[in-house]
Chains A and B, each alone.
Chain A
Amino acid sequence: MLVLGPIGFLAPAVLWGLLALPVLWWLLRAVPPAPVRRRFPGVALMLGLADRDAETARTPWWLLALRLGALGLAILGFAGPVLNPEARLPGRDPVLYVLEGSWTDARDWGARTARLEALLEGSARAGQPAGVVVLTDPPAPGTPLFGAAAEAQGRVAGLRPNPWLPEGADRWAATLKGRFETVWFVSGIDWPGRAETLQALEARGPVRLIGGSAPLIALAPPVFAEGRIALGAQSQPPSGAPAEVVARGPDPNGTERDLARIELAFDAAGAAAAELALPPEIRNRIARFAISGVQSAAAALGDDSLRRRKIALVSGAAAGDETLDLLAPLHYLRQALAPTADLLDGALLESLAARPDVVILADVARLGEAEAAALGAWVEGGGLLLRFAGPRLARSDVGRTEADPLLPVRLREGGRSVGGAMSWGEPRALAPFAEGTPFAGLAIPAEVTVSAQVLAQPDPDLPARTIAALADGTPLVTRAALGEGQVVLFHVTANAEWSTLPLSGLFVRMLERLAVSLRSARPDAAELEGTLWTPVQVLDAFGRPGDAGRLAAVEGARLGAALGAGATARDLPPGVYTSEDRRIALNVIGEETVLQPARWPAGTRIEGLAVPPERGLKGLALALALGLVALDALASLALAGRLRGAAAAQAGAVILGAMLLGPTTARAQDAADAFAIRATPGFVLAHVLSGDARVDAITAQGLEGLGRVLGRRTSVEPGPPVGVDLERDEIDFFTLLYWPVTADAPLPSAEAYARLGRYLRAGGMIVFDTRDDDLAAGGVATPEQARLRLLAAPLDIPPLEPVPADHVLTRTFYLLTEFPGRHPRTTVWVEAAPPEADRAEGVPFRTLNDGVTPVVIGGGDWAGAWAVDDLGLPVLPVGRGVAGERQREFAYRFGVNLVMHVLTGNYKSDQVHVPALLERLGQ
């Protein structure tokens, strides 16, 4: 292949043909365009006239250039030009395609896989064996690496990056053997073992590096301080373009939406910082931060560090107690909680109205009835009630004889005091926290002692409710569940009166463990020691949150160690982990993470990802050449004087037409015409298509059968019956429309109703057949009848009556007294006779109105009785035996009468006047 700039030629030998162009130039120049021969009588006057310019005999230069251009383009086209040819050395060695496959690849994963597929395509063409390896998920040692490139191509679409950095890639690379080329898609970010991996791969053969140029932007975990959320981000390589950070979370309806946006501007070092001030309601809802428009796991998940709980503090001390601050029951709680929580002060009921997360009662003994009820309901609804003991509680008789629901245990009278002046023994130390309690793993400082406490009544479930105890085993903190919430009692005061616990850091940590306070600072491994954290939500490499599924819980120590550096791994994916009520987010970027650009050995060249795709130009070149040839034809015509006016317009039209030739469609009118032709060969029976294929088939066969009977017995010879789609077809062609009503017949559109109304007004007749007379009983409407009422409601239908004995329908052809279909004894409704119709003397019929009844309604399933197959045999049985055949005969007679009525109107009604007329004529 010959490559010139961005264009390569598949068959460069053809390009030698370009050398022939100058020869052609000379040849073409010598031959002028062919003359036109023209018959012209005026030639007699021309003889002897000389041409002004002899040069025109030569072909004009621009026409020459046009022709040479066309030929040159054709030669170029046949040489097989390719734009952006894939530069590769067709080697025989297998090729190993290495993807890092970590979250750092996620930002341009599509481009990577597209490039990989293009490369695999090339390998497949060259017949090279190929293998694809994702370093975050390396194959087990010994697995065969290489296979057919086409087979590897099929796997590319299924590859996904993982939300952790490659691990053990160097160890895996060291196990490789044999010789192969490597194509490595680098992410540009350093990771442990990268250099070793490169060495191992280079030992096996040449390594080609391909990397994207888009900067990797990573959000640091948000830090909450002083009412603001501090956001940090890194960009690697440093990018000047600002990034927009979106805070996402559920809105009050639970739908995830953007809660806030903020722009981050990067400095020269690639770092950016911004602060976001949000109302607590919104802040508490933030689930995660992400960079707008970038799909990457380098986002930050929201956890407890963003939240602040609302805590209601209620003290039992009477207002106006002139105690020192340090002795105030709530002083230490305030100190411990103020940095991390929103505190509510005030009366209990008012505080409850503010929907606190936690209510702390410090030495409150007795609550008013309303207060107790409200507090109880609040706890049962999921609140955490934290109570501290104190002199008042010790003195009161709350929970003495019977369990108080707002106390986890029953209390003994009086409490006890140890280590005081009047008591025996030393102040007691705390026993180590047992496994399984919320405090497990917390270190107990030696100086924490308890000198007084309230005592719990020994109960069978006391040990289960005890979550912290003194060294002598007496409970220090007890807890009981109440509804969805819980009640926790510290058996000591919240101030330093009874114990030194509030003075120690342990107190704060215990509050944290109880999720009374939520820490903004990141917990370290030591603090998480002994806890077990369950992932509830994990991020994939693209930063999409997903359900954690059945991932195993992680030990607190491991999680704590991973938090700082964002050290995610296969068994420790980024996500939100919970333990008890606390939530911790593990992000791929920790606070300490610094994105390090990968340093490659000097002289390493990294190809870009965005390689323009290979494009064959052969078609384009040949098309252009053809276009030039067409132009040349036009130009030659113009030169020869044959391109004038109409001829030019014709040529233009031909060329344009050839370009724009497309199928034209004009069918709607044809369809309507075809229907009209089918509907009007003569008299035709028509039926409405009900949408039920079986009903429609039977109806068509029925009208066919009736048509045959009419043809045999009367002078009416109907054509083949026509099915009518009310929505589409014109119905004005028909005199009789048979409409079988099904229970689920679709309602016609307003347009179709308008057509039906016009039809009825113009004298058409519709026979509604509900086909259900065997089911109709006792005035209860069958589904078909109900449907019929619905169908017919918009139609202009006159008052109806059952066919009277003297109705013209009973004698238009046959004399009938009843009108059976497949069902005997059916009632048929027709337009009611006017009330003033009177009976003439001596005539058995009333003098009835002129015209034809516009509707006939019944349920006899006449079409079923008329139906015949192609051989003329009945399709459906009617009745039994001979009586049934007679019933069918009467059904036919009804059909004949019906058609006669439609066609002749009240002719038979007028016949009754004939004797009177004859008599008058005789006079």
Chain B
Amino acid sequence: MTAAPAAPSRTAEAEALGAALPALLVASDQLAATVALGAHGRRRAGLGDAFWQYRPAQPADPVRMIDWRRSARGDQTFVREREAETAQTVMLWIDRSRAMAYSGAPNRPPKAERAALLGLALAALMLRAGERVGLMADRAPGADTDPAAARRAAPRSGRTQLLRLAEAGDPPDPAEYGAPAPAGLAAHGQAVLISDFLGPFAPIAALMDQAAAQGVRGALVQILDPAEEDLPFAGRTIFESMGGAMRHETRSAADLRALYGGRLRDRRAELELAAGRAGFVVATHRTDAPAAQVLLWLWRMLDGAR
């Protein structure tokens, strides 16, 4: 009798989980579909699937390389060359800390939801383009040095990787503010960090240094709720962090607006400085703006970086 209620609740949980995933996948797919895929090749002959050119066979070429169909049309033998395609490794970090659960208005999604959507849509695009996409873990004891522990999902290519990435998004990070584990970066790959970047800045700066050292480039997407930018509050207020660990009391929240705005600008300048050193680009996205906008921007930035 006592075990009986647990079983259905677990199945229900699983069902809810399973139900959410396809929805997220569908949403990310829809979002990804808004980006028209451009040509994605190395513009030179190499290993790949796409046809690149026919060239006259050289004596060193193995016989099995000769394209007999083309060669039968003339006296010369031709070899069919394919375009070189090198798969990049893209590591995503999607902040799932408590701060990301914030939403300033009932009609706006929490930042975490927008971040997950954006991350998955980007992953879908990348996977479609043949890249290998992995998910970086949050900073935690032990995850800083061990690359296996620093990755929630190892970088792989293929459509099924998207499912794995989606499943790896849970459970959320119990920390107030999130930070990525620096060991999760893939050398000479790309990295996309999606967070609000409101928390302590040192881990981010450390990660940027590491990225520069490993030749990793990429983008930082700062997702902010409009309330976090505008601070539309007034009166005597006690502000608490989402977990309640930090608090700040003010007698007039309206008077705080300008000071807060200055701090926010400082943070962004800091971010851009650190990112610029590592060759990263920075974008700010507000949750009341359409997600497609920033996705397109990301895609172009990453495509150009390749």
> Interface of A with B (CB < 8 Å)?
32-47, 49, 51-54, 56-57, 638-642, 644
Contacts and interface: CB of A to CB of B under 8 A. Distances in A.
Interface in B235-258: 235-242, 244, 246-256
A140 B129 CA distance: 123
Nearest to A35: B236
B240 A40 contact: yes
Nearest to A645: B232
Most buried by A among B177, B225, B251: B251
A39 B237 contact: no
Interface stretch (B26-34, B259-267, B297-305): B259-267
A56 B236 CA distance: 9
Given A42-B228, A641-B235, A37 B264 contact: no
Nearest to B224: A42
9 contacts: A35-B235, A39-B102, A41-B100, A43-B240, A46-B250, A46-B260, A51-B255, A56-B236, A641-B254
B267 to A, nearest CB: 6
Contacts of B237: 35-38, 640-641
Q: Which 3 pairs across A and B sit closest by C-beta, in order of nearness?
A: A641-B235, A641-B234, A41-B99
A36 B240 CA distance: 10
A282 B234 CA distance: 84
Nearest to A32: B236
A694 B199 CA distance: 88
Nearest to A49: B259
A18 B254 CA distance: 37
A40 B255 CA distance: 16
Contacts of A38: 233, 237-240
Nearest to B267: A45
A51 B199 contact: no
Given A36-B237, A641-B237, A42 B198 contact: yes
A33 B231 contact: no
B199 A44 contact: yes
B131 interface: no
Contacts of A641: 233-237, 253-254
Contact of B251 (A40, A42, A45, A56): A56
Contacts of A54: 251
Contacts of B251: 32, 51, 53-54, 56-57
B241 A52 contact: no
Nearest to A636: B235
B252 A56 contact: yes
Nearest to B111: A41
A35 B239 CA distance: 10
Contacts of A642: 235
Contacts of B256: 46, 49, 51
A35 B264 CA distance: 24
B196 interface: yes
A640 B254 CA distance: 11
Nearest to B100: A41
Nearest to A47: B248
A35 B240 contact: no
Contacts of A36: 233, 235-238
Contacts of B248: 43, 46-47, 49
B113 to A, nearest CB: 14
A648 to B, nearest CB: 12
B239 A43 contact: yes
Contact of B246 (A47, A53, A639, A640): A47
A44 B256 CA distance: 14
Contacts of B231: 42
Contact of B252 (A34, A42, A53): A53
A49 B260 contact: yes
Interface of B: 98-100, 102, 176-177, 196, 198-200, 225, 227-228, 231-242, 244, 246-256, 259-260, 263-264, 267
Contact of B255 (A39, A44, A53, A644): A53
B236 A45 contact: no
Given A38-B233, A46-B248, A56-B236, 8 more contacts: A41-B196, A43-B239, A43-B240, A44-B177, A44-B241, A45-B263, A49-B256, A51-B255
A44 B198 contact: yes
B264 A45 contact: yes
Contact of A42 (B234, B247, B264): B264
Contact of A45 (B225, B234, B253, B260): B260
Most buried by B among A46, A641, A644: A46
A35 B200 CA distance: 27
Given A49-B260, A640-B235, A640-B236, A41 B255 contact: no
A12 to B, nearest CB: 41
A39 B241 contact: yes
B102 A37 contact: no
A41 B228 contact: yes
A65 B77 CA distance: 102
A651 B176 CA distance: 34
A873 B227 CA distance: 80
B81 to A, nearest CB: 54
B287 to A, nearest CB: 12
A44 B102 CA distance: 14
Nearest to A42: B228
Nearest to A41: B99
Contacts of A53: 251-252, 255
Contacts of A40: 102, 227-228, 239-241
Contacts of B242: 39, 41
A203 to B, nearest CB: 76
B236 A33 contact: yes
A46 B260 CA distance: 6
A35 B238 contact: yes
Nearest to B264: A45
Nearest to B232: A644
Contacts of A56: 236, 251-252
A91 to B, nearest CB: 61
Nearest to B243: A39
B260 A42 contact: yes
B270 to A, nearest CB: 11
A184 B248 CA distance: 79
Nearest to A646: B105
A316 B248 CA distance: 131
A638 B253 CA distance: 12
A34 B236 CA distance: 7
A41 B244 CA distance: 10
A474 B200 CA distance: 149
A51 B252 contact: yes
A506 to B, nearest CB: 110
Most buried by B among A34, A35, A638: A35
Most buried by A among B231, B236, B252, B263: B236
A52 B264 CA distance: 19
A16 B250 CA distance: 40
A42 to B, nearest CB: 5
A34 B251 CA distance: 10
A199 to B, nearest CB: 77
A57 B242 CA distance: 26
Contacts of A41: 98-100, 102, 177, 196, 198, 225, 228, 241-242
Contacts of A49: 248, 250, 256, 259-260, 263
B198 A39 contact: no
Nearest to A54: B251
Contacts of A43: 239-241, 246-248
Nearest to A45: B263
Contacts of B264: 42, 45
Contact of B234 (A32, A46, A51, A644): A644
A53 B240 CA distance: 21
A638 B252 CA distance: 12
A41 B104 CA distance: 10
B234 A39 contact: no
B56 to A, nearest CB: 64
Contacts of A44: 99, 176-177, 198-200, 241, 246
Nearest to B240: A39
B267 A51 contact: no
